[in-house]
Amino acid sequence: MAEASVVTGAAAARHEEQGFWGFTRAQAIAFLAMSAVVVVSPFLLYPVFLMKVLCFALFACAFNLLVGYVGLLSFGHAAYFGMGAYITGYAAKAWGVPPELAILMGGAIGAALGLPFGWLAIRRSGIYFSMITLALAQMVFFFCLQAPFTGGEDGIQAIPRGTLLGVFDLTADFTMYWLVAFIFLAGFLLIHRIVHSPFGQVMKAIRDNEPRATSLGYRVEQYKLMAFVLSAALAGIAGGTKALVFNIATLTDVRWTMSGEVVLMSLVGGLGTVFGPVVGAAVIVTMQNYLAEFGAWVLVIQGAIFIACVLAFRRGVVGEIGNALRVKL
Amino acid sequence: MATTQDGDTILETEGLTKEFRGFVAVSDVALRVKRGTIHGLIGPNGAGKTTCFNLLTKFLPPTRGTIRYEGRDITGMKPAEVARLGLVRSFQISAVFPHLTVLENVRVALQRARGGSFDFWRSDSLLKSFDARAMELLEDVGLTAYARHNAGELPYGRKRALEIATTLALDPRMMLLDEPTAGMTHEDVGRIMALVQRVAKGRTVLLVEHNLTVVSGLCDTITVLTRGRVLAEGTYMEVSRNPEVKAAYLGTDPGISGGEGHG
């Protein structure tokens, strides 16, 4: 770039030129490493566990899009995740919808819910915004508890994974894994593109200083709503994918604790970092899986980690690493 | 004040009043800003300057009264709409986007020229077309060397300069500056004053100030507010001789009153 020549050496070092897909060099390396892990890990670890990690990683990334880049802390993202799971599950089981379409329907229900919910919630900011999202998500929970199609306490069980594009039988975990890996990586890249788009630029400006963005003539509500809907849609896709992986959609997916878990994942990994939610999801899901034998102690350990993160590593795992290496991750 | 508007007036208020739960912060203010001038709005702490300012930019809704800009009633408009008409404000606390680079700060304002930026699927590298203009604006305010720094890392005075560059990026017809020199060191005050004078060419500027020295050198017309009311209006020479104005500043020499303050 021509302008770079007038910038002093020290200043130029601070912000590297962004290359392909808006990744900085450090991010590109991290992305390649992450992709390598995604490709290699099913040969080493149990694929169902890995699929769970990837579903939650996408969910956390979708959540982080809103809190990390627009500054809106939603406390009701379980609604979009859970409804995504129910709709995908119901469509696949009751209507025999193929998996690719069923998952997209999960994303569509996320967006469809996100539109009115977001429209209501963005009227307020800070804690009030969070409380409105929580209240609306609780309404969705009670709807799911009562509505006949969700199966109440039983949930929707024995959801068939189906045949992808009429070719690939997803019953085998290994085949299913590649679909989940594809959805995760595509979702991750989409989120990264959103953050590094003209829209993302405005989003970050609103996060940094909303009154100033308004004073520049931006109708900030419209941008916030758009980000909200995008985040909800991706959460719905994550929920739908999870329903197919586990053949089940239950109240757990739509309960407020799920909203809390995604906050925890993003915090542990690092809010507003690209890779933080992925690492956070991996940490939390791993803990839940491998500490399951300790029963209720999992929650205590989770709580302790949460407190440790808030007190000691405010930037989260990835945020602290990035800070130590002086790169944006 | 006459209700008919001649071409010389860009911004005009009539009976502008703002009450907060019974407390009258701004009372029946009639303000008339001439096109192409630098107009100062001054007054001691608590005089209602900032409230008045927030009313003019629609960040607060008035209790009563009307605001006309370019002959058009803008009383019921939203802040973003007013900004789109070319009436752009700054803030008392330096308003930059701290996690964006200095270049991006200016560019996000230039980006407004695209209309809505809802294209989340496209790469932000297409915004590079605004880089050249952004660098020009940064050069104007002497920030070229900081272009790739995060705005949050800039020293205070530079942040104010960046804010002015960002405001200028919108090419506003009228700029409203809220205490542009508040909390600044002496040299910074001089630099910002010179900058305001330079950028005011071809525009109208309304300046809220606590510091009389600043307005004396800059403003063509000065309106003095106290307790939400207009106390005096005129050139610096006129208002500074006004005994009521002197009294309002608590008998201190207006020339040395300065520093931070909320209007």
B112 vs A218: CB contact, 8 Å cut-off? yes
ipTM of the complex: 0.80
Q: Residue A190: closest CA among chain B residues belongs to which residue?
A: B121
Chain B residues 199-238 within an 8 A CB cutoff of chain A: none
**Overall domain count for chain A:** 1
Rounded mean pLDDT, B108-135: 86
B111 vs A222: CB contact, 8 Å cut-off? no
Which of the four pLDDT bands, split at 50, 70 and 90, describes residue B108? very high
**Chain B residues with CB inside 8 Å of A220's CB?**
80
Extents of the domains making up chain B: 9-96+174-256
B98 vs A209: CB contact, 8 Å cut-off? yes
Question: Which of B148, B163, B173, B177 would you mutate first to test chain A, the one with the most A CBs within 10 A?
Answer: B148
d(CA A152, CA A145): 5
Note whether residue A274 is domain-resident: no
**How do residues A201-215 score in pLDDT, each as one tens digit?**
999 999 999 989 998
Residue B259: per-residue pLDDT: 41
Note whether residue A6 is domain-resident: no
Residue B184, pLDDT > 90, answer no
Of B83, B116, B144, the CB nearest to A215: B83
**Chain B residues with CB inside 8 Å of A201's CB?**
100, 104, 107-108, 111, 117, 124, 127
Which of the four pLDDT bands, split at 50, 70 and 90, describes residue B6? low
Beta bridge partners of residue B40, listed in sequence order: B207, B222
**Ramachandran area for residue A218 (φ above 0: left; ψ -120 to 50: alpha; else beta):** beta
d(CA B5, CA B32): 10
Contact between residue A121 and residue A77 where contact means Cβ atoms under 8 Å apart: no
B39 CB contacts (<8 Å, ≥6 apart)?
A: B33, B204, B205, B206, B207, B219, B220, B221, B222, B223
Question: Which of B77, B117, B173 would you mutate first to test chain A, the one with the most A CBs within 10 A?
Answer: B117
Q: Is B77 on the interface with A (CB under 8 A)?
A: no
Looking at CATH, the fold of the domain delimited by B9-96+174-256 is given as Rossmann fold (3.40.50)
Q: How close B146 gets to chain A, by Cα (Å)?
A: 7
B124 vs A200: CB contact, 8 Å cut-off? yes
Rounded mean pLDDT, B183-193: 79
The better pLDDT of the pair B4, A226 is held by: A226
Query: How far does CA B164 lie from the centroid of its chain?
Result: 9
**How do residues B66-88 score in pLDDT, each as one tens digit?**
999 988 899 989 999 999 898 99
What's the start-to-end Cα distance of chain A, in Å? 23
Note whether residue A176 is domain-resident: yes
Q: Is A80 on the interface with B (CB under 8 A)?
A: no
Of A14, A197, A204, the CB nearest to B100: A204
Q: Residue A17: closest CA among chain B residues belongs to which residue?
A: B148
Residue type, A104: L
Residue A242: per-residue pLDDT: 93
What values do phi and psi take at B111, rounded to 5?
A: -60, -25
Of B80, B124, B146, the CB nearest to A22: B124
Residue type, B180: P
Give the domain extent around A134.
Answer: 22-254
Contact between residue B10 and residue B87 where contact means Cβ atoms under 8 Å apart: no
Of B84, B123, B144, the CB nearest to A22: B123
**Chain A residues with CB inside 8 Å of B59's CB?**
211, 214-215
Pick out chain A residues at pLDDT < 50. Answer: 1-16
Note whether residue A105 is domain-resident: yes
A217 vs B83: CB contact, 8 Å cut-off? yes
How do strand B221-226 and strand B38-42 relate by DSSP bridges?
parallel
Note whether residue A316 is domain-resident: no
Q: How close A164 gets to chain B, by Cα (Å)?
A: 26
Note whether residue A267 is domain-resident: no
Note whether residue A210 is domain-resident: yes
How do strand B174-178 and strand B87-89 relate by DSSP bridges?
parallel
Residue A9: per-residue pLDDT: 36
Which of the four pLDDT bands, split at 50, 70 and 90, describes residue B250? low
